[in-house]
Amino acid sequence: MHKLEKIWLGLGMFSLVFFLIIIGIGAFHSGHQPAASGREYIDPELVDKDARFKEPGLKKVEGKDYDYELYIVAQAFLYSPQEVEIPKGAKVKISGTTKDVVHGFGVAGTNINMMLEPGHISTYTTTFDQPGEYLTVCNEYCGTGHTDMSTMIKVVE
Ligand code: CUA
């Protein structure tokens, strides 16, 4: 091998390792985690027994700065509920979790895009102003049924 070739190869390897270390320190050592939107915890084994998640769906609330709470449970490869109707103009706090692996919760045509991690509750509060049907899909690869994993949010007048 040419001497210069060796030098460049070495430099390439060095920068690769160097950047991996930086990413490693940045992501893990400093305690950063994806989906920092919610710092609530839940035992993934007990999601079905949890008062909030045992009957997932939309719940009207009083005395909060939002009108509804929407609870979403993800598991391979479906969401509960399978469909949800939200009155137009409602301010909704969405709380989602998963019973098994990491799933996504991306609502097409909006900026709602959560990562649902086992053991965590991810939350996002938003107002649904535009009537319509919003296909909601999993955007974290979770296994063979990943592409079929969806639910429908219907915003109705
Ligand atoms: Cu659930 Cu991909």
Give per-residue pLDDT as tens, 78-135.
999 999 999 999 999 999 999 999 999 999 999 999 999 999 999 999 999 999 999 9
Q: Is 91 in the pocket of ligand 1 (CB under 6 A)?
A: no
Contact 126, 110 (CB under 8 A): yes
Please report the pLDDT score of residue 79 as a whole number. 97
Q: How far is the CA of 113 from the centre of ligand 1 (A)?
A: 13
pTM recorded for the entire structure? 0.75
What percent of the chain is helix, strand and coil (3-state, nearest 5)? Answer: 25, 40, 40
Q: Which atom of ligand 1 is nearest to the CA of 140?
A: 2
Q: Is 146 in the pocket of ligand 1 (CB under 6 A)?
A: yes
Minimal-distance CA residue to ligand 1 atom 1 = 103
| Closest C-alpha among 42, 34, 90, 101 to residue 65 | 90
